[in-house]
A = this chain, B = another copy of it.
Amino acid sequence: MNHNDIYARLKELRIELPPSGAPAAAYVMAADSGKLVYLSGHIAKKNGFAWSGKLGATMTTEEGRMAARSVAIDLLATLHAHIGDLNHVRRIVRLVSMVNSTPDFTEQHLVTNGASELFNEIFGDAGRHARSAFGVIQIPLGACVELELCAEVE
């Protein structure tokens, strides 16, 4: 086994990848162009359903962080299903984080850290990504967080 084996790292972190989800509509979960894989926006889910909530009203920042972390795991599951081997990820390039927010909630960056930190823990330097995080008025199915990702693979 490779010291950099991503699946061993997931096991150490006690993370089990869920089955890869199906798109809720007329699109695909991942599209390639050159060495880049573009993953569709993934909404937070709990027990297979949309994890609904609004930061600043029905959820705390810490709960939002946990939701963002769970979406990051779902993104990895999609990436695993799409490319076959997560050890082929050369870089997590870009993350976009839409946080379902009230007009008064200003900690979208802390919520998004739940995902960013997970990528850092799993991929090390290759997990260090550019990102944008902002508050949105609503997300499909009322989910609390939606994350979109672009990764470079080899």
Contacts and interface: CB of A to CB of B under 8 A. Distances in A.
How many subunits of this chain does the assembly comprise? 3
A70 to B, nearest CB: 16
Contacts of A95: 27
Contacts of A29: 130
B31 A101 contact: no
Given A26-B117, A34-B35, A135 B137 contact: yes
Interface residues of A, number: 58
Given A33-B152, A91-B33, A93-B38, A128 B27 contact: yes
A24 B24 CA distance: 33
A105 B139 CA distance: 8
Q: Which 9 A-B pairs have the closest CB atoms?
A: A41-B132, A135-B138, A26-B116, A109-B140, A31-B130, A38-B130, A40-B130, A106-B142, A132-B148
Interface of A: 24-31, 33-36, 38-41, 54, 56, 91, 93-96, 98, 101-110, 112-113, 116-117, 120, 128-142, 146, 148, 150, 152
